[in-house]
Amino acid sequence: MTMHGRSLIRSVRRRDVLAAAAGLAACAMLQPVGALAAGPWQRLDAARDLIGDTVPDTTGIRLDLPLVSEDGSAVSVAVTVDSPMTDDDFVQSIHLFADRNPSPEILAVELTPRAGRAELSTRVRLNESQSVIAIARTSRGRVLATARDIRVTISGCLVRADTYDSPADLDTRVRVTAPARAGEPAEVLTLINHPMETGLRLDEAGDPIPERIIDRFEARLNGEPVLRARYYRSLAANPFLRFHVAPETPGTLALTWTEDTGRIAEAEARIRPG
């Protein structure tokens, strides 16, 4: 083969490679935008209903949980969403799902700018190894979504426990941690003693234990809402929720837990600006 022939072949190959690369780029541009934001939320009806036709942004939202849990009955989960939390730009809601639980919904929290920070922590039940999904919606119409996989050794939905006849039922604990710097929101840790019976467990006689859960939680600062939460049976026993509040003046944080039977537990804590 002549030198001219080799040069021509190299030139053709170079043109072919460049053309193929351009074609792949064009195909990527022609793909539906939703294909670029694929995630386990697309396989879950409850998550799809929440997202609707909006293409979720997978940046600006973080989900923290362990890679492996030896006990699926109380797995720590934290969600953080980047947001200024101002009156005209704030996170309106944060939702947690577990895609292989008998009931995938875990927690749905409505926030207000008074929270000061779009950050939540809780403990969840996981039936098996699966994906945990977090979805957030903002006041400006953005939808953010992320997911993390976790390996679970022991199911957290069917484990036996003697928590459903406790004399401390509905006892509450609240702790407010002052902010480290001026202007920062205070951290609030809440817990209520409750079995969060899923309706899936059996008693010693082998009969189903009826479902009984705390299904609503509300926090108000000086009468104004900070957050409202819907608890589902995938939330761990003795429901724990960590959140923030940013008071402009000293006041009282009033907390209310409501059981699905209608029983109510209440607590209060004094709050001061940072």
Extents of the domains making up the chain: 1-30, 40-271
Tell me, what's the pLDDT at 157? 60
User: What ranges make up the beta strands (E) of 30-74?
Assistant: 61-64, 68-69
Q: How far apart are CA 229 and CA 18, in angstroms?
A: 54
Q: Which of 241, 236, 235, 244 is nearest to 256 (CA)?
A: 241
Q: Which CATH number applies to 40-271?
A: 2.60.40.10
* pLDDT 10s digits, 81-96: 999 999 999 999 999 9
* pLDDT 10s digits, 127-176: 999 999 999 999 999 999 999 999 998 776 655 444 556 778 899 999 99
How many CB atoms sit inside 10 A of residue 49's CB? 8
